[in-house]
Protein backbone atom coordinates (compact mmCIF):
# COMPACT_ATOMS: atom_id res chain seq x y z
CA UNK A 1 0.00 0.00 0.00
CA UNK A 2 1.47 3.32 -0.97
CA UNK A 3 0.16 6.86 -0.79
CA UNK A 4 0.79 9.62 -3.23
CA UNK A 5 2.09 13.06 -2.41
CA UNK A 6 -1.34 14.68 -2.28
CA UNK A 7 -2.69 12.12 0.20
CA UNK A 8 0.38 12.50 2.37
CA UNK A 9 0.09 16.28 2.51
CA UNK A 10 -3.61 16.10 3.29
CA UNK A 11 -3.10 13.66 6.14
CA UNK A 12 -0.18 15.65 7.54
CA UNK A 13 -2.28 18.78 7.48
CA UNK A 14 -5.13 17.08 9.30
CA UNK A 15 -2.84 15.75 12.02
CA UNK A 16 -1.25 19.18 12.50
CA UNK A 17 -4.66 20.87 12.77
CA UNK A 18 -5.78 18.24 15.27
CA UNK A 19 -2.66 18.71 17.37
CA UNK A 20 -2.88 22.49 17.48
CA UNK A 21 -6.61 22.46 18.13
CA UNK A 22 -6.22 19.83 20.84
CA UNK A 23 -3.60 21.76 22.77
CA UNK A 24 -5.73 24.89 22.55
CA UNK A 25 -8.74 23.03 23.96
CA UNK A 26 -6.67 21.70 26.86
CA UNK A 27 -5.15 25.07 27.84
CA UNK A 28 -8.55 26.70 27.47
CA UNK A 29 -10.06 24.02 29.69
CA UNK A 30 -7.53 24.48 32.46
CA UNK A 31 -8.15 28.21 32.43
CA UNK A 32 -4.66 28.97 33.61
CA UNK A 33 -4.12 32.63 34.39
CA UNK A 34 -0.45 33.41 34.29
CA UNK A 35 -0.53 37.15 34.77
CA UNK A 36 -2.11 39.05 37.61
CA UNK A 37 -2.38 42.80 37.23
CA UNK A 38 0.36 43.43 39.73
CA UNK A 39 3.50 45.52 40.07
CA UNK A 40 6.83 45.39 41.80
CA UNK A 41 8.19 48.44 43.56
CA UNK A 42 11.20 49.47 45.57
CA UNK A 43 10.42 50.03 49.22
CA UNK A 44 9.63 53.61 50.19
CA UNK A 45 11.94 53.78 53.18
CA UNK A 46 14.79 52.11 51.29
CA UNK A 47 18.11 53.94 50.92
CA UNK A 48 19.08 54.63 47.33
CA UNK A 49 22.37 55.54 45.69
CA UNK A 50 24.19 55.38 42.40
CA UNK A 51 27.41 53.99 43.76
CA UNK A 52 27.54 52.71 47.33
CA UNK A 53 31.00 53.18 48.76
CA UNK A 54 32.67 52.38 52.08
CA UNK A 55 35.45 54.36 53.72
CA UNK A 56 37.42 52.62 56.46
CA UNK A 57 38.82 55.22 58.84
CA UNK A 58 41.99 53.55 60.09
CA UNK A 59 42.24 55.93 63.04
CA UNK A 60 39.05 54.46 64.53
CA UNK A 61 40.28 50.87 64.50
CA UNK A 62 42.69 50.64 67.35
CA UNK A 63 41.85 47.86 69.74
CA UNK A 64 40.96 44.23 69.20
CA UNK A 65 37.50 45.17 70.44
CA UNK A 66 36.94 47.59 67.53
CA UNK A 67 37.48 44.82 64.99
CA UNK A 68 35.53 42.24 66.92
CA UNK A 69 32.48 44.44 67.37
CA UNK A 70 32.25 45.08 63.63
CA UNK A 71 32.74 41.44 62.64
CA UNK A 72 30.31 40.18 65.27
CA UNK A 73 27.57 42.54 64.08
CA UNK A 74 27.82 40.95 60.63
CA UNK A 75 28.09 37.35 61.82
CA UNK A 76 24.97 37.56 63.96
CA UNK A 77 22.60 38.95 61.33
CA UNK A 78 23.89 37.00 58.33
CA UNK A 79 24.00 33.55 59.91
CA UNK A 80 27.69 33.13 59.19
CA UNK A 81 28.90 29.73 60.37
CA UNK A 82 32.06 29.15 62.37
CA UNK A 83 33.54 25.83 61.31
CA UNK A 84 36.41 26.22 63.71
CA UNK A 85 39.21 25.74 61.20
CA UNK A 86 40.83 28.26 58.85
CA UNK A 87 40.53 26.05 55.77
CA UNK A 88 36.73 26.09 55.84
CA UNK A 89 36.43 29.60 57.24
CA UNK A 90 33.51 31.68 55.96
CA UNK A 91 34.40 35.37 55.93
CA UNK A 92 32.28 38.41 55.14
CA UNK A 93 34.22 41.05 57.04
CA UNK A 94 37.47 40.21 58.75
CA UNK A 95 40.90 41.40 59.80
CA UNK A 96 44.26 40.95 58.12
CA UNK A 97 47.73 42.53 58.11
CA UNK A 98 49.23 45.05 55.68
CA UNK A 99 51.23 42.50 53.70
CA UNK A 100 48.15 40.48 52.79
CA UNK A 101 45.84 43.42 52.35
CA UNK A 102 47.92 45.71 50.15
CA UNK A 103 50.29 43.26 48.48
CA UNK A 104 51.48 44.88 45.28
CA UNK A 105 53.58 47.54 46.95
CA UNK A 106 51.97 50.53 45.28
CA UNK A 107 52.45 52.78 48.28
CA UNK A 108 56.10 52.29 49.14
CA UNK A 109 56.67 55.23 51.44
CA UNK A 110 53.90 54.74 53.95
CA UNK A 111 55.11 54.95 57.52
CA UNK A 112 56.37 51.81 59.18
CA UNK A 113 53.70 51.98 61.88
CA UNK A 114 51.07 51.96 59.19
CA UNK A 115 52.50 48.78 57.72
CA UNK A 116 52.14 47.10 61.07
CA UNK A 117 48.45 47.94 61.42
CA UNK A 118 45.74 45.33 61.05
CA UNK A 119 43.03 46.19 58.52
CA UNK A 120 39.33 45.53 58.32
CA UNK A 121 38.63 43.77 55.05
CA UNK A 122 35.45 42.96 53.20
CA UNK A 123 34.27 42.49 49.63
CA UNK A 124 35.41 45.54 47.65
CA UNK A 125 32.28 45.71 45.49
CA UNK A 126 34.44 46.49 42.47
CA UNK A 127 33.22 48.61 39.62
CA UNK A 128 34.56 45.94 37.27
CA UNK A 129 34.00 42.82 39.33
CA UNK A 130 35.94 39.82 37.99
CA UNK A 131 33.75 37.45 40.00
CA UNK A 132 30.69 38.54 38.04
CA UNK A 133 32.46 37.84 34.76
CA UNK A 134 33.52 34.41 35.99
CA UNK A 135 30.11 33.30 37.28
CA UNK A 136 28.54 30.96 34.71
CA UNK A 137 25.02 31.13 36.15
CA UNK A 138 24.67 34.82 36.94
CA UNK A 139 24.42 34.03 40.65
CA UNK A 140 26.81 36.89 41.32
CA UNK A 141 25.76 40.11 39.68
CA UNK A 142 26.29 43.83 39.93
CA UNK A 143 23.30 45.91 40.93
CA UNK A 144 22.45 49.34 39.57
CA UNK A 145 23.68 50.90 42.80
CA UNK A 146 27.14 49.37 42.47
CA UNK A 147 26.68 46.56 44.95
CA UNK A 148 28.01 43.19 43.84
CA UNK A 149 25.26 40.95 45.16
CA UNK A 150 24.74 37.20 45.45
CA UNK A 151 21.70 35.19 44.45
CA UNK A 152 22.28 32.09 46.56
CA UNK A 153 19.48 30.29 44.71
CA UNK A 154 21.49 30.21 41.53
CA UNK A 155 24.92 29.35 42.89
CA UNK A 156 26.03 25.93 41.69
CA UNK A 157 29.24 25.92 43.71
CA UNK A 158 31.70 25.91 40.82
CA UNK A 159 33.93 28.35 42.72
CA UNK A 160 35.11 30.14 39.57
CA UNK A 161 34.35 33.39 41.39
CA UNK A 162 36.67 32.43 44.23
CA UNK A 163 39.45 31.94 41.74
CA UNK A 164 38.60 35.18 39.98
CA UNK A 165 38.39 37.41 43.06
CA UNK A 166 41.83 38.91 43.76
CA UNK A 167 40.81 39.86 47.30
CA UNK A 168 39.84 36.48 48.72
CA UNK A 169 36.48 37.95 49.62
CA UNK A 170 34.49 34.82 48.81
CA UNK A 171 33.99 31.76 50.94
CA UNK A 172 32.64 28.34 50.13
CA UNK A 173 30.43 26.14 52.27
CA UNK A 174 32.19 22.79 52.20
CA UNK A 175 29.78 21.45 54.81
CA UNK A 176 26.26 22.10 56.00
CA UNK A 177 26.64 25.43 57.77
CA UNK A 178 23.52 25.23 59.91
CA UNK A 179 24.93 23.25 62.83
CA UNK A 180 27.87 25.68 63.00
CA UNK A 181 25.83 28.86 63.34
CA UNK A 182 25.71 30.12 66.90
CA UNK A 183 22.20 31.52 66.73
CA UNK A 184 20.17 31.54 63.55
CA UNK A 185 18.49 34.80 62.64
CA UNK A 186 15.22 33.84 60.91
CA UNK A 187 15.23 37.08 58.89
CA UNK A 188 18.21 36.04 56.77
CA UNK A 189 18.59 32.73 54.94
CA UNK A 190 21.29 30.30 55.92
CA UNK A 191 23.23 28.66 53.12
CA UNK A 192 23.52 25.07 52.00
CA UNK A 193 26.65 23.03 51.32
CA UNK A 194 28.11 23.90 47.91
CA UNK A 195 27.21 27.58 47.94
CA UNK A 196 29.62 30.51 47.84
CA UNK A 197 28.93 33.55 49.98
CA UNK A 198 30.36 37.00 50.63
CA UNK A 199 29.62 40.48 51.93
CA UNK A 200 26.65 42.05 50.14
CA UNK A 201 26.84 45.52 51.74
CA UNK A 202 23.67 44.57 53.65
CA UNK A 203 21.31 44.99 50.68
CA UNK A 204 18.48 43.66 52.83
CA UNK A 205 19.05 46.41 55.42
CA UNK A 206 19.42 49.16 52.80
CA UNK A 207 16.00 48.15 51.44
CA UNK A 208 14.60 48.69 54.94
CA UNK A 209 16.23 52.11 55.21
CA UNK A 210 19.03 50.97 57.52
CA UNK A 211 22.78 51.38 57.19
CA UNK A 212 24.88 48.21 56.95
CA UNK A 213 25.29 46.44 60.27
CA UNK A 214 29.07 46.91 60.39
CA UNK A 215 28.70 50.66 59.79
CA UNK A 216 26.28 50.93 62.71
CA UNK A 217 28.56 48.90 64.96
CA UNK A 218 31.76 50.70 64.00
CA UNK A 219 31.21 53.94 65.97
CA UNK A 220 32.15 56.02 62.95
CA UNK A 221 35.05 53.84 61.87
CA UNK A 222 33.21 52.82 58.73
CA UNK A 223 31.60 55.52 56.63
CA UNK A 224 29.08 54.45 54.02
CA UNK A 225 27.47 56.55 51.32
CA UNK A 226 26.97 57.43 47.69
CA UNK A 227 30.21 58.22 45.85
CA UNK A 228 28.24 59.75 42.98
CA UNK A 229 26.70 62.36 45.26
CA UNK A 230 29.12 65.32 45.55
CA UNK A 231 27.70 66.25 48.97
CA UNK A 232 27.99 62.84 50.57
CA UNK A 233 30.44 62.28 53.39
CA UNK A 234 32.30 59.54 51.56
CA UNK A 235 32.77 61.72 48.50
CA UNK A 236 34.11 64.59 50.60
CA UNK A 237 36.58 62.34 52.36
CA UNK A 238 37.75 60.64 49.18
CA UNK A 239 38.18 63.89 47.28
CA UNK A 240 40.01 65.75 50.05
CA UNK A 241 41.85 63.19 52.18
CA UNK A 242 44.50 60.60 51.49
CA UNK A 243 42.92 57.24 50.92
CA UNK A 244 44.26 54.01 49.49
CA UNK A 245 42.52 51.04 47.96
CA UNK A 246 43.48 47.41 47.66
CA UNK A 247 45.26 46.23 44.51
CA UNK A 248 44.24 49.16 42.28
CA UNK A 249 46.81 47.98 39.75
CA UNK A 250 44.43 45.19 38.78
CA UNK A 251 41.90 47.68 37.46
CA UNK A 252 38.87 46.29 39.24
CA UNK A 253 38.15 49.69 40.84
CA UNK A 254 37.31 48.72 44.43
CA UNK A 255 34.60 50.66 46.25
CA UNK A 256 36.22 50.28 49.66
CA UNK A 257 38.66 53.06 50.56
CA UNK A 258 41.11 53.12 53.48
CA UNK A 259 41.47 56.57 54.99
CA UNK A 260 44.98 57.31 56.25
CA UNK A 261 45.48 59.84 59.00
CA UNK A 262 41.80 60.48 59.58
CA UNK A 263 40.58 61.45 62.98
CA UNK A 264 39.53 65.03 62.32
CA UNK A 265 37.72 64.58 59.00
CA UNK A 266 34.43 66.24 58.08
CA UNK B 1 3.99 -22.74 20.81
CA UNK B 2 7.20 -24.36 21.95
CA UNK B 3 7.17 -24.58 25.76
CA UNK B 4 4.03 -22.42 25.64
CA UNK B 5 2.78 -23.43 29.08
CA UNK B 6 5.97 -22.35 30.82
CA UNK B 7 6.12 -19.07 28.95
CA UNK B 8 2.53 -18.16 29.75
CA UNK B 9 2.88 -19.17 33.38
CA UNK B 10 6.03 -17.06 33.74
CA UNK B 11 4.31 -14.13 32.06
CA UNK B 12 1.43 -14.35 34.52
CA UNK B 13 3.88 -14.50 37.41
CA UNK B 14 5.76 -11.54 36.02
CA UNK B 15 2.65 -9.41 35.69
CA UNK B 16 1.50 -10.45 39.15
CA UNK B 17 4.85 -9.43 40.57
CA UNK B 18 4.74 -6.06 38.83
CA UNK B 19 1.27 -5.31 40.08
CA UNK B 20 1.95 -6.15 43.73
CA UNK B 21 2.21 -2.48 44.74
CA UNK B 22 -1.15 -1.71 43.19
CA UNK B 23 -2.91 -4.51 45.05
CA UNK B 24 -0.94 -3.89 48.20
CA UNK B 25 -2.05 -0.25 48.33
CA UNK B 26 -5.58 -0.85 47.12
CA UNK B 27 -8.09 0.89 49.32
CA UNK B 28 -5.35 2.68 51.19
CA UNK B 29 -5.48 5.79 49.08
CA UNK B 30 -3.23 8.52 50.38
CA UNK B 31 -5.35 11.08 52.19
CA UNK B 32 -5.62 14.23 50.12
CA UNK B 33 -4.95 17.68 51.43
CA UNK B 34 -8.01 18.10 53.57
CA UNK B 35 -8.80 20.73 56.11
CA UNK B 36 -6.34 23.20 54.63
CA UNK B 37 -8.23 26.06 56.23
CA UNK B 38 -7.25 24.82 59.65
CA UNK B 39 -3.59 25.44 58.95
CA UNK B 40 -4.11 29.06 57.98
CA UNK B 41 -4.23 31.59 60.76
CA UNK B 42 -7.06 33.59 59.35
CA UNK B 43 -7.73 37.21 59.92
CA UNK B 44 -11.04 38.87 59.17
CA UNK B 45 -11.72 39.11 55.47
CA UNK B 46 -8.13 38.33 54.78
CA UNK B 47 -7.23 37.34 51.27
CA UNK B 48 -3.90 35.99 50.17
CA UNK B 49 -1.74 38.32 48.06
CA UNK B 50 -3.91 37.30 45.12
CA UNK B 51 -7.17 35.35 44.93
CA UNK B 52 -7.10 31.79 46.23
CA UNK B 53 -7.82 30.52 42.72
CA UNK B 54 -4.89 32.34 41.27
CA UNK B 55 -2.59 31.26 44.08
CA UNK B 56 -3.63 27.63 43.76
CA UNK B 57 -2.51 27.42 40.15
CA UNK B 58 0.22 30.07 40.03
CA UNK B 59 1.91 30.33 43.42
CA UNK B 60 5.12 28.78 42.12
CA UNK B 61 5.42 31.26 39.26
CA UNK B 62 4.58 34.07 41.64
CA UNK B 63 7.25 32.96 44.09
CA UNK B 64 9.79 32.79 41.27
CA UNK B 65 8.89 36.32 40.24
CA UNK B 66 9.11 37.47 43.84
CA UNK B 67 12.58 36.00 44.08
CA UNK B 68 13.66 37.66 40.84
CA UNK B 69 12.25 40.99 41.91
CA UNK B 70 13.58 41.00 45.46
CA UNK B 71 17.01 39.45 44.97
CA UNK B 72 17.99 40.66 41.54
CA UNK B 73 15.96 43.78 40.75
CA UNK B 74 15.99 45.19 44.26
CA UNK B 75 12.22 45.75 44.18
CA UNK B 76 11.10 44.48 47.53
CA UNK B 77 7.43 45.43 47.51
CA UNK B 78 4.67 43.58 45.67
CA UNK B 79 1.58 45.56 44.74
CA UNK B 80 -1.21 43.12 43.99
CA UNK B 81 -4.06 43.45 41.50
CA UNK B 82 -6.15 45.28 44.10
CA UNK B 83 -3.41 47.82 44.77
CA UNK B 84 -2.46 46.42 48.15
CA UNK B 85 1.25 46.29 49.00
CA UNK B 86 3.11 43.34 50.48
CA UNK B 87 6.67 42.96 51.62
CA UNK B 88 8.35 40.36 49.42
CA UNK B 89 9.47 37.72 51.86
CA UNK B 90 8.60 34.14 52.72
CA UNK B 91 7.83 35.54 56.16
CA UNK B 92 4.91 37.40 54.57
CA UNK B 93 3.52 34.02 53.50
CA UNK B 94 4.11 32.49 56.91
CA UNK B 95 2.24 35.28 58.68
CA UNK B 96 -0.89 33.41 57.65
CA UNK B 97 0.24 30.05 56.33
CA UNK B 98 1.67 28.66 59.52
CA UNK B 99 0.15 26.70 62.31
CA UNK B 100 0.79 28.72 65.40
CA UNK B 101 0.99 25.69 67.65
CA UNK B 102 4.16 24.40 66.07
CA UNK B 103 5.89 27.73 65.83
CA UNK B 104 9.26 28.02 67.55
CA UNK B 105 9.48 24.41 68.58
CA UNK B 106 13.01 23.30 69.19
CA UNK B 107 14.70 20.64 67.13
CA UNK B 108 12.65 20.63 63.95
CA UNK B 109 13.88 21.79 60.63
CA UNK B 110 13.27 21.25 56.97
CA UNK B 111 9.50 20.78 57.12
CA UNK B 112 9.54 20.28 53.35
CA UNK B 113 10.86 16.79 53.99
CA UNK B 114 9.06 16.17 57.22
CA UNK B 115 5.53 15.15 57.79
CA UNK B 116 3.74 17.94 59.56
CA UNK B 117 0.42 19.69 59.60
CA UNK B 118 1.79 22.83 57.98
CA UNK B 119 -0.01 24.38 55.05
CA UNK B 120 2.60 23.94 52.33
CA UNK B 121 3.55 20.45 53.35
CA UNK B 122 0.03 19.05 53.43
CA UNK B 123 -0.37 19.64 49.70
CA UNK B 124 3.23 19.11 48.68
CA UNK B 125 3.44 15.75 50.39
CA UNK B 126 0.29 14.61 48.66
CA UNK B 127 1.58 15.76 45.28
CA UNK B 128 5.07 14.48 46.10
CA UNK B 129 6.58 17.88 45.48
CA UNK B 130 9.64 18.66 47.54
CA UNK B 131 10.77 22.25 47.20
CA UNK B 132 13.89 23.10 49.17
CA UNK B 133 12.85 26.51 50.52
CA UNK B 134 13.42 25.60 54.15
CA UNK B 135 16.93 24.29 53.72
CA UNK B 136 17.97 27.96 53.78
CA UNK B 137 14.98 30.07 54.80
CA UNK B 138 13.48 29.90 58.25
CA UNK B 139 10.30 27.85 57.86
CA UNK B 140 6.99 27.91 59.67
CA UNK B 141 8.66 26.39 62.71
CA UNK B 142 10.74 29.54 63.13
CA UNK B 143 14.51 29.64 63.28
CA UNK B 144 15.90 26.12 62.97
CA UNK B 145 18.15 24.50 65.57
Decide if A148 is inside a domain: yes
pLDDT band at B67 (very low <50, low <70, confident <90, very high): very high
Decide if A4 is inside a domain: no
Decide if A19 is inside a domain: no
Decide if A79 is inside a domain: yes
DSSP B58-115: HHHHHHHHHHIIIIIS---EEE-TTS-EEE-SHHHHHTTSS-GGGTT-TT---GGGS-
**Gap from A188 CA to chain B (nearest CA, Å):** 7
**Chain A residue with the nearest C-alpha to that of B68:** A151
If interface means Cβ-Cβ distance under 8 Å, which residues of chain B face chain A?
A: 50, 54, 57-58, 61-62, 65, 67, 69, 71-81, 85, 87-88, 91, 109, 132, 135-138, 142-145
Decide if A143 is inside a domain: yes
Q: What was the pLDDT predicted at B30? A: 62
Decide if A47 is inside a domain: no
**Chain B residue with the nearest C-alpha to that of A190:** B136
pLDDT in tens, A212-265: 999 999 988 999 999 999 999 999 999 999 899 999 889 999 999 999 876 554
The share of chain A scoring above pLDDT 70, in percent, equals 92
The share of chain A scoring above pLDDT 90, in percent, equals 68
Decide if A24 is inside a domain: no
Check whether B105 has a pLDDT greater than 50. Answer: no
For the domain that residue A97 is a member of, what is the CATH number? 3.30.70.20
Query: Inter-chain contact A179–B69, Cβ cutoff 8 Å?
Result: no
Q: For chain B, which residues make up each domain, given as ranges? A: 46-88, 102-145
Query: Inter-chain contact B76–A42, Cβ cutoff 8 Å?
Result: yes
The secondary structure of A45-56, three-state, reads: CCCCCCCEEEEE
Decide if A27 is inside a domain: no
pLDDT band at B88 (very low <50, low <70, confident <90, very high): very high
pLDDT in tens, A169-206: 999 999 999 999 998 888 899 999 999 999 999 999 99
Q: Which residues of B touch A77 (CB under 8 A)?
A: none
Query: Inter-chain contact A191–B136, Cβ cutoff 8 Å?
Result: yes
Query: Inter-chain contact A184–B144, Cβ cutoff 8 Å?
Result: yes
**Chain A residue with the nearest C-alpha to that of B51:** A36
Start-end of H helices in A31-137: 64-78, 98-101, 112-116, 130-134
Please state, rounded to an integer, the average pLDDT across all residues of chain B: 78
**Chain B residue with the nearest C-alpha to that of A148:** B72
Number of domains observed in the structure of chain A: 1
CA distances from A90 to A161, A206, A256, A266, B130 (A): 15, 23, 20, 35, 28
Structural domain containing residue A161 = 52-259
pLDDT band at B12 (very low <50, low <70, confident <90, very high): very high
Amino acid sequence: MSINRRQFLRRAGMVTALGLGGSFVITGFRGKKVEAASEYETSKQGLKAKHWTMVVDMSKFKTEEDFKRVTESCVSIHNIPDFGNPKDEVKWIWKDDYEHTFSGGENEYLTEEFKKLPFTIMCNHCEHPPCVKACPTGATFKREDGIVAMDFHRCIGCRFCMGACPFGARSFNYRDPRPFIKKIDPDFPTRTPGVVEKCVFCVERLADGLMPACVEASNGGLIFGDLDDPNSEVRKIISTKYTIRRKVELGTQPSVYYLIGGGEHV
Amino acid sequence: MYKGGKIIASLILFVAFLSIPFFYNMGKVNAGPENLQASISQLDGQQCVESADYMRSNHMQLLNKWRQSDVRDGKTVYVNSQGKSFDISLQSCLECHATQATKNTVGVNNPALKTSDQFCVSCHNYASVKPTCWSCHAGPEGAPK
